[in-house]
Structure 1
Amino acid sequence: MVLGTDDACSAGALKVIDIPEGITQHLPATWPGLPLRIDSPGWDPVISGKMIGIAVAFADIGTVDPTGFDGVTAGLRVNANVHAPLLCVTDVFDVASGDLSLPGRVNQ
């Protein structure tokens, strides 16, 4: 999933990024109409030591620009309204890089 800051979750807290109303974007077939940037079932990560890998069928989601990512384990708070925001990150347990520096890279 794609995270960003939103003070509606609490000061400086992260949320799952909404796709703004009025924006049309290709969504995976498993999440039709849900306006969130979130992964889909069947995209199973492979964890080996300090490496995390995931194979993504680009035909399902379109082109992904090169970007950084990190692995995080955390709780999610679900709000009643989809744009309230719907999913706020709570209780961060661990960050793979140790400092959320986004060292992972997408290989296309």
Structure 2
Amino acid sequence: MFGKSDDKMSKKELKELEKQRKQQEKEQALLKKYGVEKLHNSQDIESVRRIATSMAGDGFFDLGSALGGANEKDYLRRLYDLAKVQMEQNFILIRQLDELNSKLK
């Protein structure tokens, strides 16, 4: 009775570890794609993930607008997304500058 529940827990734990490993591989591939694989701050890594997610729709938007499917609302939404990307980039820079500043002290 107890042996089976322990086996199930260990299987769950193994499954969770495998899920975490795959997530880390995806994360490293993303960081490598943008040449920032040396980032170690989890906030910076999360910002890169949000930037990449936001920019993933660029190709579809460009194709849709080229085919005449975009209206003013779509353009405004895209401009808003790009502004969010710039804000994320600014926060990465601020955190990096803060880290450099604290190392210089």
TM-score between the two structures when normalised by the length of structure 2: 0.20
Q: More helix by proportion, 1 or 2?
A: 2
TM-score between the two structures when normalised by the length of structure 1: 0.19
Q: More strand by proportion, 1 or 2?
A: 1
- From the CA coordinates, give the structure whose radius of gyration is larger: 2
